[in-house]
Amino acid sequence: MAITKSAKKAIRQSVSRKEHNVAYKNKIKALVKQARAFVAAKKNSDAKKLLPDIYAAFDKAAKVGIIKKNNASRHKSRLTKLIDKKI
């Protein structure tokens, strides 16, 4: 357990940052899962409509440092390829 005042503050900060980071990750996961479900159900037009929201979520997460820029780019590319392939 933290003893010093600064260590206690660091714990508080890490907890609040974790909540913030998890919110970004959960949004990304939900959108990707929804897009994959559309592709599985052969509703590619619906999946294509989700792409701008997915791109925005990945770009924002990369911008604030939740994930790395190349990680976001890779995921966006693979998802787009998956949606285009099933047409």
Matching residue, tokens 């919110």? 23
pLDDT of residue 85: 83
**Furthest-apart CA atoms within the chain: distance in Å:** 59
Domain span including residue 68 = 44-87
38 assigned to some structural domain: no
pLDDT of residue 1: 83
Report the number of distinct structural domains present in the chain. 1
31 assigned to some structural domain: no
Q: Say if residue 77's pLDDT is above 90.
A: yes
Q: What's the predicted TM-score (pTM) here? A: 0.86
76 assigned to some structural domain: yes
Rounded Cα–Cα distance for residues 24 and 70 (Å): 17
Q: Are 73 and 55 in contact (CB under 8 A)?
A: no
Q: What does pLDDT average to over the chain?
A: 94
